[in-house]
Amino acid sequence: MTARRLLALVSAATAATSLFGAAACNEMGCDTSPDSNPPADFRGGEVVTTSGGPVYRTSTAEGEHLNFAAGAQFRVHHQLGGVPQTVQLWVSFSAHGTTDGNEAQPAGNMAEVLCVNEDFILLRNDSCGEYWLRVVASDPVAPMSTGAVDSACP
């Protein structure tokens, strides 16, 4: 087989795989629109005291992560008493992160931060991927108002 013919076959296979992947996502009903995926409230997790101040986490790296399906939105109530200045997101293909897999920081639209205020962090999976999510937030700034939620946050 000539190099040119091999290159043509590889190119055709790559194109077919890309088209199948896109079609499969659409055929499976992957609808990431906010209207079809209203935010779910998550009120779990814990605040731990560190030398740098309070840190909120939905779980430990080994703990149970949030099911972050395609289009999922979460309103994570962080319990910090102020607006967190640092928000870290971690995704895994395993429900228990590093216990039986690993985790990494997401890229692109795998996990989007839509809003952060003194009460919650609004997150969205705007991809067709299925992940497990862990959220870590810290460096709270005390609210300057009477505790009202930012009206810009849904």
Higher pLDDT, 49 or 19: 49
Task: Could you list the beta-strand ranges (E) of the chain.
Answer: 40-42, 46-50, 53-57, 66-68, 73-77, 83-92, 112-116, 120-124, 131-141
pLDDT over 60 (residue 146): no
| Band of residue 14 on the pLDDT scale cut at 50, 70, 90 | very low
Q: Which residue shows structure tokens 């009477």? A: 146
What type of residue sits at position 61?
A
| Band of residue 153 on the pLDDT scale cut at 50, 70, 90 | confident
pLDDT over 50 (residue 39): yes
Mean pLDDT of the chain, nearest integer: 83
- Contacts made by residues 97-101, CB under 8 angstroms, sequence distance 24+: 97/59, 97/60, 97/61, 97/62, 97/63, 97/65, 97/132, 97/134, 98/61, 98/62, 99/62, 99/63
Q: What's the gap between Cα 83 and its chain centre?
A: 19
d(CA 154, CA 151): 7
pLDDT > 70 fraction of the chain, expressed in percent and rounded? 74
Task: State which H helix or E strand residue 14 sits in.
Answer: helix 3-27
pLDDT > 90 fraction of the chain, expressed in percent and rounded? 69
d(CA 123, CA 116): 9
pLDDT over 50 (residue 119): yes
d(CA 26, CA 146): 46
